[in-house]
């Protein structure tokens, strides 16, 4: 297949988008689909809960450690090659997860799966950007952003449904036929790669990977043992030191793994920071709401699932409209309005109690869904339109990295605030929902949501600066 000139839209662009959407949904889904099944996996593999959490943590850490590497590799070797490699590895990793017979095998398989996910995430948005002309790009990236958010939101309910009727193995095996189909279709219609005669910065990759492993590995371990292990804080400090060394080394490299010049563009820099803040918020509601609806409100899992579905349904319906709006009036205003709506939604969520009407709860979910939709589509379009085409891999992988970091930090912040508030009120350490004491959870939830509202409000301030101050940058 010959390369298509940049001035001519790819005739297969909508087919390319559909393939990207399927793969993006699977990758985002697997960030959370296993979380709800951890007790089942723990029992089946006779593994302690403190160890079984690495089924989820290893996936996130591996993506953080490798996504920048694959973004740079995509700029050098071609994004289509990275897409096919990522799809293949993700499918193989899913198969290995599904046939795992012990915890060690499952964690290794999750790492393989995450490497494939990272390779795909690093080039996903760049592929869509290249395929679509500017007047259609907002809608295309809007669909892409929507499906990623939907995957994150629907992971727990879909995982719960699968586990309720099938074995936990099918959480992963379901990816295999879909991944194989995506790989075969993608091999046929993906555009020919444009390669660059540049060197890969292996020194930068090693430094960054070690830094990510130390920081997020220590945070993951510390969360399980409440940071009582004396090695955890030194590991985090060592990781931060390596991160500083990585930045210093990269700034001297002629062909660095990440070109820091893209951060001189205020539109891009504000956009990726807002991405981190929004995904931190997104992981918080995914974590807290099941406890609020089922434990505190006493709803059945099916009733809770139906109410919570308001969020992804509104998100899914509104996102294409947000992308269309971004193409017509520009993306900066919709993304700012979206962050304001999300902030208001989290404040309203913080005000809920066990007596609050479920209609009010549904309206809150609708506000959050609409706010997320108005942010996601325009922000993705802004990000990918603000960098040169030969830097799309770096831009896409940087955004994917901050999405993943946001998810990790969101869980850390929300659980820390939630349980610290509950512990303070209860008079002793709390690390779970206490039956018969919904008041404790409501107080903790309120504090967590006010913290998240503050995170979103910070993003709104940055988006306002992008809209009103840095208009031409």
Q: Residue 68, class by beta-carbon neighbours within 10 Å (0-12 exposed, 13-18 middle, 19+ buried)?
A: buried
For the chain, the distance separating the N- and C-terminal CA atoms, rounded to the nearest angstrom, is: 36
CA 251 to CA 177: how far, in whole Å?
43
Longest dimension (CA), the chain: 68
Residue 57 structure tokens: 């943590």
State how far Cα 135 lies from the chain centre: 26
Residue 250 structure tokens: 């990269």
What are the residues whose beta carbons fall under 8 Å from the beta carbon of 94, sequence distance 6 or more?
30, 109, 113, 172, 173, 175, 176, 179
**DSSP state at residue 2:** P
Contact 373, 313 (CB under 8 A): no
Predicted confidence at residue 337, as pLDDT, reads: 92
**CATH assignment, 1-199:** 1.20.1250.20
Predicted confidence at residue 92, as pLDDT, reads: 95
Asked whether the CA dihedral 413, 418, 424, 430 is positive or negative, the reply is negative
> Which mean pLDDT values do the consecutive 10-residue runs of the chain (473 residues) have?
46 85 86 73 75 79 87 83 91 93 91 93 82 77 74 75 82 91 87 71 85 81 62 85 88 78 83 88 78 78 75 81 78 90 93 86 90 84 76 76 82 82 82 78 90 92 85 55
pTM score, whole prediction: 0.77
Predicted confidence at residue 71, as pLDDT, reads: 83
Contact 372, 321 (CB under 8 A): no
Q: Which of 239, 217, 240 is nearest to 229 (CA)?
A: 217
Q: Residue 134, class by beta-carbon neighbours within 10 Å (0-12 exposed, 13-18 middle, 19+ buried)?
A: exposed
Q: Residue 27 CB: number of other CB atoms within 10 A?
A: 28
Residue 251 structure tokens: 């700034």
Backbone angles phi, psi at 102, to 5 degrees: -150, 170
CA 148 to CA 410: how far, in whole Å?
16
Contact 199, 124 (CB under 8 A): no
> Given 1.10.10.10, 3.60.20.10, 1.20.1250.20, 3.40.50.2000, which CATH number is that of 261-473?
1.20.1250.20
């Amino acid at each position: 297949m010959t390369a298509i000139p940049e001035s001519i839209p790819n005739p297969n662009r909508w087919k390319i988008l559909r393939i990207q959407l399927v793969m993006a949904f699977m990758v985002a889904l697997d960030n959370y689909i296993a979380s709800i099944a951890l007790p089942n996996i723990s029992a089946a593999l006779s593994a302690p809960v403190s160890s079984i959490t690495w089924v989820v943590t290893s996936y996130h850490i591996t993506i953080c450690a490798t996504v920048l590497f694959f973004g740079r590799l995509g700029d050098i070797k071609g994004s289509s090659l990275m897409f096919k490699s990522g799809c293949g590895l993700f499918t193989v990793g899913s198969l290995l997860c599904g046939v795992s017979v012990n915890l060690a095998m499952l964690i290794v398989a999750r790492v393989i799966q995450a490497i494939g996910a990272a390779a795909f995430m690093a080039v996903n948005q760049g592929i869509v950007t290249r395929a679509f002309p500017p007047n259609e790009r907002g809608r295309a990236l809007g669909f892409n952003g929507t499906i990623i958010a939907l995957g994150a939101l629907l992971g727990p309910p879909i995982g719960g449904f699968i586990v309720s009727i099938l074995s936990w193995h099918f959480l992963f095996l379901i990816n295999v036929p879909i991944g194989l189909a995506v790989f075969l279709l993608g091999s046929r219609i993906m555009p020919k790669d444009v390669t660059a005669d540049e060197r890969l910065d292996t020194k930068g990759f090693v430094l960054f990977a070690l830094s990510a492993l130390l920081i997020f590995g220590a945070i993951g371990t510390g969360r399980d043992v409440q940071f009582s292990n004396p090695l955890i804080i030194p590991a985090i400090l060592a990781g931060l030191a390596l991160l500083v060394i990585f930045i210093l080394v990269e700034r001297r490299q002629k062909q660095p793994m990440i070109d820091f010049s893209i951060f001189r563009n205020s539109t891009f820099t504000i956009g990726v920071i807002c991405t981190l803040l929004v995904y931190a918020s997104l992981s918080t509601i995914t974590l807290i709401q099941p406890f609020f609806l089922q434990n505190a409100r006493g709803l059945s899992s099916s009733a809770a699932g139906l109410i919570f579905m308001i969020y992804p349904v509104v998100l899914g319906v509104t996102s294409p409209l947000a992308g269309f709006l971004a193409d017509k009036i520009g993306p900066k205003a919709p993304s700012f309005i979206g962050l304001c709506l999300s902030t208001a939604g989290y404040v309203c969520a913080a005000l809920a109690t066990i007596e609050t009407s479920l209609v009010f709860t549904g309206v809150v979910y609708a506000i959050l869904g609409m706010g997320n939709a108005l942010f996601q589509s325009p922000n993705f379009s802004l990000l990918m339109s603000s960098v040169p085409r030969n830097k799309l891999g770096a831009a896409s992988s940087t955004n994917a990295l901050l999405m993943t970091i946001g998810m990790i930090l969101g869980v850390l912040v929300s659980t820390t605030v939630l349980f610290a508030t509950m512990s303070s009120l209860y008079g002793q350490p709390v690390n779970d929902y206490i039956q018969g004491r919904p008041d404790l959870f409501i107080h903790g939830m309120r504090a967590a949501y006010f913290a998240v509202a503050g995170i979103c409000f910070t993003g709104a301030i940055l988006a306002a600066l992008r809209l009103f101050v840095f208009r031409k940058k």
